[in-house]
């Protein structure tokens, strides 16, 4: 299949990479096509905070030159990618969606960016996000919301709404997200794309501006399971600069995606992550997908994870506690915004004014909750208890994985809601992550992939697959099998149904 | 508001109150790189040049523990007879201050690496040496902060300054913090016990090679906690005097705080739990911030680091590397050198043990080695307020001096001039001898010439000697020595003189 005359931006990464390797198309052409597409649609989508057109074209031409010189290049060399604005990149503004980091240009590359560059990927720009990754809608970005390509009046999920929307709008075939409580998976679910939160420690956090250090994990986002696997393989693996990164071989996720075989696998339905509270169309598409897995030869059983009902409460103590400390450094002393430095005010006043002006309401809310939860006299009741719940949730997973190979659930309880609907109701917003949070607390791996449109609103529904730590390959084995069966049924990927912008 | 009280003389204070001490000592470890990154730890360097994203706490950066720092801390813990944790974590101590790049310090909180140890120290009393056991609560690791310089304003403090500059070269330097349990029962000896303890810690670290403890560079900082109570009553409220940076100051800080608190209590006042600042110049402290509105540091386990779990066999290997404990070594050296307690203590006080031992090892006679280091050199070091080893004189220098004196080419007074030259940085022994022209004049003809000149100038003295008044020879010898600028051997001059005049003793 040649790509002559084809719409380059609608191709998946694996196809583009093969076409480039075979000389059908250059990275410069592919990159230019994506930059043109961004120029065409991003004023409506607002997926990007920072576009790196010149740098991207330079990088693309460099790859083309190296390929022409006969250099052995990585499997994704020359493919464009969008990077969430929470990962540092030398000399490129990194805002984390916050005013407080306005103007800061990091002097170093995050490990993920370093590995993308080493793999020859072409970075198109930095994508929008909820401020410091706090949110499920990208409405908490200080630079304005991102719009869901399926319906521009709706949210693209969050915090990584920019990365997911870029994929769904065909602005990039690949993107990097980060997932602290569902920030890769929930945006994937509501935009009809694929996203994986790798095992905690599977991808280096070096250069990922921390929200909650014990929960944060960067991961791959794409429109197909195979592309997600290729990107996963490109960024994963031990990094001596991150003590929490795992010193073990990366599971062979690409081979698992190629095998795409669930025969003989045991798949568990988590009783606590379905039923009440889930939109009817979400439950319907989820049940249909589970039936397909059974048809493909998997054995599906129900399992119970009784402590999952406490996950949200524990998460909203652990995350704010760590965040209150991680975000302390944004004090106006060394970089980014500085307010009130008129030569008369004290250092405390300047710090205070800077933080007052630099942080949005949701960030302040979580800093205050975390500061309170860690305070002397409250630590045991809040942070201490939350850590105990975390242990119980990890044990629930261990018990479940003693019975089954993977667990499945809907990724999010609803499809994409309207911009503005929940922005003033934090508790309603937090409930979006009810199914994704347990995985972050336990540190294991999970994927969201599209399983259809909800009949009532015609919007994408995501299914979540959860695997034990360092068994990320199982996500791809199951996800690729399910995706192939759905493509057989529909005749195309779900994303092909996204309305023209 | 603290009322201004006088002080009570120390003897009177101790007669009325029992002191309880607690010492927290921070020492920079002598690792090549920082606690959590690869930046160099060397002192000096232009501001903010020994920094990287990690020690600057830039967004996204992550710490990685320096293995050598863990090793040094375990070795120190073992030398302090501590138990070593099988599993422990770092913790974040959260507070806002511009010298802290992250606005939290990575430290250890309720899970120190080493705990429950002790250190025996000896203090001199009028009744002879007395030993005290100082119990160690914990030894833990942490990172240092940056250094603030306040420009303008009267005090050099942050309040009132026109502006402040931060140098983050020091940020992330590994620190070891050693905390004692309350030291009770020292009574009037409390200031000396405090000093002896810190001295012993310093010697121990040097012996272990975990730090060279450059006190003049502020690499050892002590916080001194003191409380007083009347005999039989519960312990009193304590104050904490911060950043006491020399051995002498440790002793003075304890003493002055006992005198101050005694005055407060004598007048029916209440000691306030507070942080105090010690002033080297006056030997007194002034109040800092009150701990009654204590900051809440919101400690929690550092999620960016994995727990430290030193394997037991590693700990045992480290135990096998411990050098002879300083106290045992002192007992051995005193026995080997066969000297009195008093003489030995003089060596200890002068900080001369290592140097004397090395000088003897270089082949110098034991008495001569002691004489050089405790005499002229100890006086010079004391006058200049520096440590003996910082003078720049080495055991090899002493060895060479002794060779030249033994061979008769240097007199004792010439040898002292050589040492002056070495201290002034003029080179090694032979270089100073050459450049200053300090060789003994052993040329008989030259000496006889000088003798003849002296006799010619003092003919009356010459006549007296010829007449048998041999004791008058001193005047001629003195003149010859003066003429040769001390470079002649006086005994030889005298012999030549008498021979010249044909008289005998």
A355 is a domain residue: no
CB contact under 8 A, B59 and A106: yes
**DSSP SS3 for B427:** coil
As a whole number of Å, the CA-based R_g of chain A is: 21
Alpha carbon B218 to chain centroid distance?
11
Write down the pLDDT at residue B73. Answer: 98
List CB contacts (< 8 A) between A379 and chain B. 298, 300
Q: How far is CA B241 from CA B95, B109, B183, B255, in A?
A: 20, 21, 16, 12
Q: What percent of chain B has pLDDT over 70?
A: 96
Write down the pLDDT at residue B1. Answer: 40
Q: How far is CA B245 from CA A43, A167, A313, B217, in A?
A: 62, 60, 48, 9
The pLDDT-based confidence of B388 (bands split at 50, 70, 90) is confident
The CATH number of whichever domain residue A93 belongs to comes to 3.90.1300.10
**pLDDT score of A408 more than 90:** yes
**pLDDT score of B3 more than 70:** no
For residue A324, indicate whether it is catalytic: no
Give the span between the Cα atoms of B33 and B55, in whole angstroms.
11
CB contact under 8 A, A213 and B60: no
Q: Is B233 left (phi over 0), alpha (psi -120 to 50) or beta?
A: beta
Element holding B147 (H helix, E strand): strand B147-151
Which residue in chain B has the smallest CA separation from A323? B303
Arithmetic mean of pLDDT, B313-334: 91
**pLDDT score of A77 more than 80:** yes
pTM: 0.88
**DSSP SS3 for B63:** coil
The pLDDT-based confidence of B383 (bands split at 50, 70, 90) is confident
Residue A344 touches chain B, beta carbons under 8 Å? no
The pLDDT-based confidence of B344 (bands split at 50, 70, 90) is confident
A32 is a domain residue: yes
CB contact under 8 A, A347 and B158: yes
**pLDDT score of A5 more than 80:** no
- Least confident among A53-62, A200-209, B438-447, B465-474: B438-447
Neighbour tally for A380: CB within 10 Å? 10
Per-residue pLDDT reduced to its tens digit, A108-127 = 999 999 999 999 999 999 99
Write down the pLDDT at residue B158. Answer: 65
Residues 6+ apart with CB under 8 A from B459: none
Give B484 or A228, the one with higher predicted confidence: A228
Size of interface A-B (CB pairs under 8 A): 101
Write down the pLDDT at residue B2. Answer: 45
Residue A209 touches chain B, beta carbons under 8 Å? yes
Per-residue pLDDT reduced to its tens digit, B77-91 = 999 999 999 999 999
Write down the pLDDT at residue A163. Answer: 98
Element holding B123 (H helix, E strand): strand B114-125
Closest CA of chain A from B39, distance in Å? 14
Beta bridge partners of A197: A446
Element holding B84 (H helix, E strand): strand B83-84
Write down the pLDDT at residue A412. Answer: 97
Per-residue pLDDT reduced to its tens digit, A239-289 = 999 999 999 999 999 999 999 999 999 999 999 999 889 999 999 999 999
Write down the pLDDT at residue B156. Answer: 61
For residue A84, indicate whether it is catalytic: yes
Interface ipTM: 0.96
Phi and psi at residue A174, to the nearest 5°: -135, 155
User: Which of A206, A213, A331 lies closest to B103 in CB terms?
Assistant: A331
Give chain A's domain count: 1
Residue found by looking up tokens 């005994």 in the block: B491
Write down the pLDDT at residue A47. Answer: 98
3-state helix, strand, coil in chain B (%, to 5): 40, 20, 40
A383 is a domain residue: no
- Least confident among B42-46, B243-247, B361-365, B480-484: B480-484
Per-residue pLDDT reduced to its tens digit, B394-422 = 999 999 988 888 887 888 888 888 998 99
Per-residue pLDDT reduced to its tens digit, A281-323 = 999 999 999 999 999 999 999 999 999 999 999 999 999 999 9
- Nearest Cα neighbor of A131 from A392, A355, A378 is A355
Find the length of chain B.
Answer: 505
Residue B172 touches chain A, beta carbons under 8 Å? no
A52 is a domain residue: yes
The pLDDT-based confidence of B435 (bands split at 50, 70, 90) is confident
Give the span between the Cα atoms of A436 and A190, in whole angstroms.
13
The pLDDT-based confidence of B289 (bands split at 50, 70, 90) is low
Per-residue pLDDT reduced to its tens digit, B204-216 = 998 899 998 887 7
The pLDDT-based confidence of A4 (bands split at 50, 70, 90) is low
**pLDDT score of B291 more than 60:** no
**pLDDT score of B282 more than 80:** yes
Mean pLDDT of chain A: 97
Arithmetic mean of pLDDT, B298-324: 96
Give A393 or B339, the one with higher predicted confidence: A393
Per-residue pLDDT reduced to its tens digit, A123-147 = 999 999 999 999 999 999 999 999 9
DSSP string, A385-410: HHHHHHHHHHHHHHHHHHH-SEEEEE
Arithmetic mean of pLDDT, B363-384: 87
Please classify residue B475 by burial: count the beta carbons closer than 10 Å to its beta carbon, then call 0-12 exposed, 13-18 middle and 19+ buried.
middle
A241 is a domain residue: yes
- Angle ∠(B325,B215,B124) on CA atoms, nearest 5: 50
**Token code pair at residue A408:** 């499945």
A361 is a domain residue: no
Phi and psi at residue A25, to the nearest 5°: -150, 150
Please classify residue A170 by burial: count the beta carbons closer than 10 Å to its beta carbon, then call 0-12 exposed, 13-18 middle and 19+ buried.
buried
Write down the pLDDT at residue B157. Answer: 64
Give the residue numbers spanning the domain of A131.
Answer: 8-307+391-497
The domains located in chain B, with CATH, are 10-311 (no CATH), 326-436 (no CATH), 444-501 (1.10.10.410)
CB contact under 8 A, A207 and B61: yes
Give the span between the Cα atoms of A169 and A166, in whole angstroms.
5
Give B331 or A184, the one with higher predicted confidence: A184
Q: What percent of chain A has pLDDT over 70?
A: 99
Decide: A18 and A40 in contact? Cβ < 8 Å.
no
A334 is a domain residue: no
For residue A163, indicate whether it is catalytic: no
- Residue B88 carries which DSSP code? B
**pLDDT score of B154 more than 70:** no
CB contact under 8 A, B53 and A331: no
Give B412 or A459, the one with higher predicted confidence: A459
Closest CA of chain A from B153, distance in Å? 13
Number of DSSP helices (H) and strands (E) in chain A, helices first: 16, 11
Give the span between the Cα atoms of A382 and A375, in whole angstroms.
9
- Nearest Cα neighbor of A179 from A86, A316, A294, A286 is A86
The pLDDT-based confidence of B161 (bands split at 50, 70, 90) is confident
Residue B296 touches chain A, beta carbons under 8 Å? yes
Decide: A294 and A301 in contact? Cβ < 8 Å.
no
The pLDDT-based confidence of B390 (bands split at 50, 70, 90) is confident
Q: Which of A26, A183, A204, A324 is catalytic?
A: A183
A166 is a domain residue: yes
Closest CA of chain A from B110, distance in Å? 13
Which residue in chain B has the smallest CA separation from A351? B96
**pLDDT score of A444 more than 50:** yes
Give the span between the Cα atoms of A477 and A254, in whole angstroms.
9
Residue A205 touches chain B, beta carbons under 8 Å? yes
Give the span between the Cα atoms of A273 and A409, in whole angstroms.
6
User: Which of A104, A210, A243 lies closest to B64 in CB terms?
Assistant: A243
- Nearest Cα neighbor of B59 from A343, A376, A93, A116 is A93
Please, where are the H alpha helices in B154-285?
190-208, 247-266
List CB contacts (< 8 A) between A101 and chain B. 59
Per-residue pLDDT reduced to its tens digit, B475-504 = 888 888 888 877 787 888 888 888 888 887
Write down the pLDDT at residue B501. Answer: 83
Decide: A450 and A194 in contact? Cβ < 8 Å.
yes
């Amino acid at each position: 299949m040649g790509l002559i005359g084809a719409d380059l931006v609608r191709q998946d990464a694996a196809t583009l990479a093969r076409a480039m390797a075979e000389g059908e198309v250059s990275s410069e052409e592919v990159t230019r096509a994506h930059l043109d597409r961004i120029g065409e649609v991003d004023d409506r989508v607002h997926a990007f905070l920072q576009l790196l057109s010149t740098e991207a074209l330079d990088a693309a031409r460099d790859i083309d030159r190296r390929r022409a010189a006969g250099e052995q290049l990585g499997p994704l060399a020359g493919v464009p990618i969008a990077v969430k604005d929470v990962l540092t990149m030398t000399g490129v503004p990194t805002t984390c969606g916050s005013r407080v980091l306005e103007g800061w240009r990091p002097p170093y590359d995050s490990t993920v960016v370093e590995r993308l560059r080493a793999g020859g990927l072409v970075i198109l720009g930095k994508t929008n996000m909820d401020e410091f990754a706090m949110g499920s809608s990208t409405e908490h970005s200080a630079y304005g919301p991102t719009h869901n390509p399926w319906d521009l009046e709706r949210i693209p999920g969050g915090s990584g709404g920019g990365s997911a929307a870029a994929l769904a709008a065909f602005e990039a075939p690949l993107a990097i997200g980060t997932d602290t409580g569902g920030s890769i998976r929930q945006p994937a679910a509501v935009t009809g794309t694929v996203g994986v939160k790798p095992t905690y420690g599977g991808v280096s956090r070096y250069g990922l501006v921390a929200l909650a250090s014990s929960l944060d994990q960067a991961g791959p986002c794409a429109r197909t399971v195979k592309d997600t696997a290729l990107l996963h393989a490109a960024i994963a693996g031990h990094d001596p600069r991150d003590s929490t990164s795992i010193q073990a071989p990366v599971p062979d996720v690409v081979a698992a995606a190629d095998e795409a075989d669930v025969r003989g696998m045991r798949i568990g339905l988590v009783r606590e992550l379905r039923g009440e509270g889930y939109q009817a169309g979400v439950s319907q598409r989820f049940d249909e997908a589970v039936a397909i897995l059974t048809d493909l030869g998997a054995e599906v059983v129900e399992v119970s994870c009784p402590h999952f009902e406490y996950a949200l409460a524990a998460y909203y103590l652990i995350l704010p506690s760590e965040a209150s400390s991680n975000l302390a450094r944004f004090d106006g002393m060394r970089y980014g915004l500085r307010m009130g430095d008129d030569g008369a005010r004290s250092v405390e006043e300047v710090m205070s004014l800077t933080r007052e002006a630099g942080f949005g309401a949701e960030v302040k809310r979580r800093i205050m909750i975390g500061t309170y939860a860690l305070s002397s006299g409250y630590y045991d009741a809040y942070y201490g208890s939350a850590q105990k719940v975390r242990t119980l949730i990890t044990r629930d997973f261990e018990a479940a994985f003693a019975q089954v190979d993977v667990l499945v659930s809907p990724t999010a309880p609803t499809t994409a809601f309207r911009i503005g609907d929940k922005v003033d109701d934090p508790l309603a917003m937090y409930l979006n992550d009810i199914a994704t949070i347990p995985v972050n607390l336990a540190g294991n791996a999970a994927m969201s992939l599209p399983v259809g449109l909800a009949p009532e609103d015609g919007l994408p529904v995501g299914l979540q697959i959860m695997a034990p730590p360092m068994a990320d390959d199982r996500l791809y084995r199951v996800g690729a099998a399910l995706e192939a069966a759905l493509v057989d049924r529909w005749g195309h990927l779900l994303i092909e149904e996204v309305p023209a912008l | 508001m603290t009322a201004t009280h006088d002080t009570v003389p120390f003897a009177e204070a101790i007669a009325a109150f029992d002191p309880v001490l607690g010492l927290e000592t921070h020492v920079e470890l002598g690792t090549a790189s920082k606690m959590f990154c690869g930046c160099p730890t060397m002192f000096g360097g232009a501001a903010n040049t020994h920094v990287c994203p990690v020690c600057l706490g830039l967004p996204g950066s992550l710490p990685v523990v320096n293995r050598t720092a863990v090793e040094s801390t375990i070795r120190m813990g073992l030398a302090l007879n501590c138990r070593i944790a099988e599993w422990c974590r770092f913790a974040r101590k959260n507070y806002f201050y511009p010298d802290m790049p992250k606005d939290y310090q990575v430290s250890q909180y309720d899970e120190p690496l080493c705990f429950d140890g002790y250190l025996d120290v000896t203090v001199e009393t009028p009744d002879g040496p007395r030993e005290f056991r100082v119990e160690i609560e914990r030894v833990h690791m942490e990172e240092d902060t940056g250094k603030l310089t306040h420009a303008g304003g009267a005090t050099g403090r942050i309040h009132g300054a026109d502006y402040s500059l931060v140098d983050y070269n020091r940020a992330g330097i590994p620190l070891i913090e050693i905390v004692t349990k309350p030291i009770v029962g020292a009574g009037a000896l409390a200031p000396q016990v405090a000093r002896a303890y810190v001295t012993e810690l310093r010697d121990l670290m040097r012996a272990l090679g975990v730090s060279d403890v450059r006190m003049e560079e502020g690499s050892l900082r002590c916080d001194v906690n003191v409380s007083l109570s009347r005999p039989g009553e519960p312990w009193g409220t304590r104050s904490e005097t911060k950043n006491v940076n020399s051995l002498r100051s440790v002793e003075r800080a304890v003493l002055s705080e006992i005198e101050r608190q005694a005055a407060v209590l004598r007048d029916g006042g209440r000691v306030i739990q507070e942080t105090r600042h010690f002033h080297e110049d006056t030997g007194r402290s002034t109040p800092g911030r009150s701990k009654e509105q204590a900051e809440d540091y919101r400690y929690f386990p550092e999620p960016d680091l994995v727990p430290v779990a030193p394997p037991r066999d590693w700990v045992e290997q480290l135990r096998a590397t411990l050098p002879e404990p300083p106290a045992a070594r002192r007992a051995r050296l005193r026995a080997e050198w066969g000297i009195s307690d008093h003489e030995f203590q003089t060596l200890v006080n002068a900080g001369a043990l290592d140097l004397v031992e090395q000088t003897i090892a270089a082949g110098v006679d034991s008495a001569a080695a002691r004489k050089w280091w405790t005499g002229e050199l100890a006086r010079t070091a004391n006058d200049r307020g520096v440590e003996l080893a910082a003078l720049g004189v080495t055991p090899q220098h002493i060895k060479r001096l002794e060779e030249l004196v033994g061979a008769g080419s240097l007199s004792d007074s010439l040898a002292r001039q050589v040492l002056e030259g070495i201290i002034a940085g003029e080179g090694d022994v032979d270089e100073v001898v050459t450049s200053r022209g300090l060789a003994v004049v052993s040329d008989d003809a030259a000496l006889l010439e000088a003798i003849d000149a002296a006799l010619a100038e003092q003919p009356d003295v010459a006549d007296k000697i010829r007449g048998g008044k041999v004791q008058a020879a001193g005047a001629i010898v003195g003149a010859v020595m003066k003429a040769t600028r001390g470079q002649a051997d006086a005994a030889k001059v005298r012999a030549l003189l008498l021979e010249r005049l044909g008289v005998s003793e």
